[in-house]
Amino acid sequence: MEEDRPAAVLSPFNELSVQELTAVRDFLLSQPELRLVKYDEAGPTDNVLFTVEMLPAAKADMLAHIDGGGPAPPRRAYAVLFLFDHADGAHCLQVEVGPLPAPTYYQPIRHNKQTPDIHIHSRPGSEPEYAGVDALMVEAFQTLDPIIAEVNGGYRYVDCGDKCLTWTDNAPRGIVRSLRKAWFSMMRKVEGQYLHPIGLEFFIDTSGTNSSQWYVDKIFYANRLWNTSQEIAAWYEANNHTTPGFKPWNPETEEDYRFSTFNPRIDTAPHRPPGGRPGPRQFEPAGKRYTVIGKHVNWMGWDLNLGMRSTAGMRLWDVRFNGTRVAYEISLQEASAAYGGDSASSPFQASTFYFDSSWGMGPSHLQLVPGSDCPDTATYFDFAHLWNGHDVRVNTNSACVFELDLGQPLRRHHQHHTRPKFAASMKSYALVVRSISTVYNYDYQWDHVFYTDGTIEVKVQAFGYLQTVRYAGNAYGYPISPDAGGTLHDHVCHWKVDLDVAGQSNSLLRSTIVPEVIEMPWHPTVQSTWGKRVQRTVAETEHNATLLINPNTPTYMTVVNEDKLNSHGHPRGYRIDHKTYTYSLIPDDAWIMQAASFMKYHVAVTARKEDEPTSTTIFDQATPKEPVVRFEDYIDGDSVRKQDLVAWVSAGTWHIPVSEDAPNTPSTAHAVGFVLRPFNYFDEDAALHTREVTIIRKDFSTGEAAVVDTGMVKARDCLPHAGLTAQEAADSFDSPTDDYDE
């Protein structure tokens, strides 16, 4: 645990501590004009403090401190207030609070690219609001519970005992600011509940500031819409206790629900591994090769600072390689999921489009499972959050760092057909910073991977349960249980990458691979052939600094420093290389794209501005047709030549649910991300500075092969050794393939 390590000197990049979060909360609660109510005592429409997180200092001020030795910028907090009762009318308010740790002021935060007034309907869902929703549910189930229990094997909502129903809600919550409505889907409350929908959905209106006027607008049940629960009851009684077109699956025993659990199926198939023998384990024969001080990590030339926003999750600050800053900030901005579905089968599913930052990706980073989520050798970090509650919550062991043997060479060659004969293979290690968020049904594993050659990989792996509906044999997916199936959806993630390549005066180099005809006058039968070349351009403005990946025009997007050249005379740079990508199938003029325009670009490079801190906000989920931020507005024609630049990067994947997604989507299925690769940044491969290379050379004067000593300490064999050693390989270096030029 983090508390077991020595306390670190306060870093300017640290997220807010428990003491700072508490101080901000208590200070705001003491301001009479805000009329705030303690969160755990608040009703659905009381004024509340919803969340608090660290407000980063201006980059210029931070660099003056960490690079120039100037004073540390004052620590400040970002807070979100829901103000139903206020002199300026009902609205959401973003405020800056400071200085910390003892705040004395708060002031509204205004960004030029954000809507100045945030409607109260744009707020994320909250516990006080859900309490109001629950009251409406209880009222509806006074009529529905007898029917639902009879149809669904005794499961009910009120006074349910051990056979309870629960619900999950979707978004958007109204689309426009004048409305606030969302669908709530009922499911059996069992392990893996998301695979147990019962086909009952409520469309609930929570518009306005008077919760007594909230109501159930529509009910979807038995494949049709109803206006009231009384309508369903009347039909049920008039039709001999049946519902139209509806055949629920009720297992004979509760054990039949186990298809949604992780329990090993060792009674239905040959179990693995034979004899229950454990698999390979990672160990560190000479101790840890990375150091951790607070949230600062150092490994093999890399230095970085970990952070965790309550809204959007993991972020890294001041990432350096060999003492030189490569990136000032790498931060997740958004994780979206857009669903397909038939509104005749499930209005809930058909209308779902999630922006996960609105649901709190930071506090959804829960305790990691040692030895599985992270290897046995990992070091863990705690993060504190004030989100959707009164008390500050510390999520212990919610991120980890570890060194990983990748089990493959970083580079290798075996020269066997000519002299001098040698074999060389460099071991490949990486430092992995990992966190896993669980927002309702989906688990996302967020990895930042640092390699010895100066490469940074950013990737996310989707796990978790599908959001399912009663399967209707439609074109949106496949069944995964007797009566439920998932539907087609995508996952698109968006990151802010503030690269500082050999300084802040950066440009964008586009290198497009184009075909060309190559003359062959020397050939007796053909006069030409097709080849390819690199077409290089340097972007001048933001309008030509975007990329929509096209396989027919492959393009490298590289942030370079035109004034800082490597020894070969080329601008030093870092290339943005996608591992996966999707294309937005939604027309640009669709209303959802007002909030989701970041999905249009795989890369968009803009001049860095303090007024453009994030690509989305937590308010855009509820009212995406009228968002607080339109990312498209950031691309407004500013110069990107020799400027401090930010690359906004999106990556995604499509997911057609299949039976193998039950009970849970595996890690072999859906991973997305991108890689930041050195591009003429060094004079040669930076990994050559590591000693962990095995070189076997043959001495032809003696006919013997020997392993070159690179100065590595001999590993302590803490575990039984298996397989060939390098020396054993050298002893058998003469193989049949080595006899070409004896």
Burial 107-137 (b: 16+ CB within 10 A, else e): eeeebeebbeebbbbbbbbbebbbebbeebb
CA distance 97 to 113: 21
Q: Where do we find the tokens 């990556």?
A: 651
Query: Residues 6 or more apart from 334 whose CB is under 8 A from it?
Result: 312, 355, 356, 357, 493, 494, 598, 615, 616
Give the 3-state secondary structure of residue 583.
coil
What pLDDT, on the 0 to 100 scale, is given for residue 673? Answer: 96
Mean pLDDT confidence for 651-676: 90
What value does the mean pLDDT of the chain take? Answer: 91
**CB distance 384 to 17 below 8 Å:** yes
Q: How confident is the model at residue 321 (pLDDT cuts 50, 70, 90)?
A: very high
Instruction: Tell me if 206 sits within 8 A of 181, measured CB to CB.
Output: yes
Please give the domain boundaries of the chain with CATH numbers for all domains: 18-109 (3.10.450.40), 127-269 (3.10.450.40), 291-409+427-504+555-685 (2.70.98.20)
| Of 667, 656, 665, nearest in space to 260 by CA | 665
Query: Which uninterrupted H or E stretch holds 350?
Result: helix 347-350
d(CA 709, CA 575): 35
Q: Which pLDDT does position 716 carry in this prediction?
A: 56
Q: How far apart are CA 504 and CA 722, in angstroms?
A: 49
pLDDT at 279 over 90: no
User: 740 catalytic, yes or no?
Assistant: no
pLDDT at 701 over 90: no
Q: Is the predicted pLDDT of residue 34 greater than 50, yes or no?
A: yes
* pLDDT score of 8: 58
Q: Whole-angstrom Cα distance, residue 538 to residue 106? A: 43
pLDDT (tens digit per residue) in 189-230: 999 999 999 999 999 999 999 999 999 999 999 989 999 999
Which tens digits make up the pLDDT trace of 395-428?
A: 999 999 999 999 898 888 888 777 788 888 888 9
How many other CB atoms are there within 10 angstroms of residue 406's CB atom? 12
- Cα(578)–Cα(453) distance, integer angstroms: 18
* CA 695 – CA 413 distance, rounded (Å): 10
Q: Is 23 helix (H, G, I), strand (E, B) or coil?
A: helix
pLDDT, greater one: 599 or 266 = 599
Residues 6 or more apart whose Cβ sits within 8 Å of residue 574:
326, 499, 501, 558, 559, 676, 677, 678, 679, 681
pLDDT at 736: 39
Report the share of the chain in percent with pLDDT over 70. 94
Query: What pLDDT is attached to residue 251?
Result: 76
Is residue 566 very low, low, confident or very high in pLDDT (cuts 50, 70, 90)? Answer: very high
For residue 5, count other CB atoms closer than 10 A to its CB: 13
pLDDT at 738: 41
Shortest CA distance to 79 belongs to which of 48, 117, 50, 56? 50
Q: How far is CA 589 from the centre of its chain?
A: 26
* Residue keyed to tokens 């077409």: 535
Among residues 110, 88, 107, which one has the least CA distance to residue 98? 107
Token readout for 279 is 């698999």
Instruction: Give residue 128's pLDDT band: very low, low, confident or very high (50, 70, 90).
Output: very high
Whether 324 shows a pLDDT value over 60: the answer reads yes
Please determine, for residue 629, whether its predicted confidence score (pLDDT) is greater than 90.
yes
First to last CA, the chain: 60
- Closest to 198 in 3D by CA, of 211, 189, 210: 189
CA dihedral 620, 621, 623, 624 (to 10 degrees): 70
Catalytic, 447? Answer no
What is the per-residue DSSP string for 521-557? TT-SS-SEEEEEEEEEEE--BGGGSEE---TTS-EEE
Beta-sheet strands, E only, within 550-617? 555-565, 571-578, 603-607
Lowest mean pLDDT among 207-221, 264-278, 551-565: 264-278
Please give the full DSSP string across 435-497, using - where no structure is assigned: EEEEETTEEEEEEEEEETTS-EEEEEEEEE---EEE--S-TT--BSSSSEEE--EEEEEEEEE
Describe the chain by its helix, strand, coil percentages, rounded to 5.
Answer: 15, 40, 45
From 39, 157, 442, 465, active-site residue: 442
pLDDT at 278: 87
With bands split at pLDDT 50, 70 and 90, how would you rate the model's confidence at 3? low
Give strand pairing partners of 706. Answer: 697
Give the whole-angstrom CA distance, residue 557 versus residue 487: 34
What's the rounded mean pLDDT across residues 598-602? Answer: 95
**Which residues are bridge partners to 54 per DSSP?**
77
**Rounded to whole angstroms, how far apart are CA atoms 669 and 495?**
22
Predicted confidence band of residue 715 (pLDDT cuts 50, 70, 90): low
The reported pLDDT for the residue numbered 261 is 85
Residue keyed to tokens 């699956």: 249
Q: Which of 169, 303, 356, 483 is catalytic?
A: 356
Contacts of 366-372 with CB under 8 Å at 24 or more apart are 366/395, 366/398, 366/436, 366/438, 367/395, 367/396, 367/397, 367/398, 368/397, 368/398, 368/399, 368/400, 368/434, 368/435, 368/436, 370/397
- CA angle at residue 340 from 339 to 341, to 5 degrees? 120
The CA-atom distances, in angstroms, between 392 and each of 52, 359, 471 are: 10, 17, 41
| 473 has a pLDDT exceeding 80 | no
Sheet of 197-205: strand order equals 165-169, 181-188, 197-205, 215-221, 224-226
**Higher-pLDDT residue of 275, 17:** 17
The three-state secondary structure class of 356 is: helix
Whether 390 has a pLDDT exceeding 80, the answer reads yes
46-102: pLDDT as tens digits: 999 999 999 999 999 999 999 999 999 999 999 999 999 999 999 999 999 999 999
**446 closest CA partner among 356, 547, 384, 327:** 356
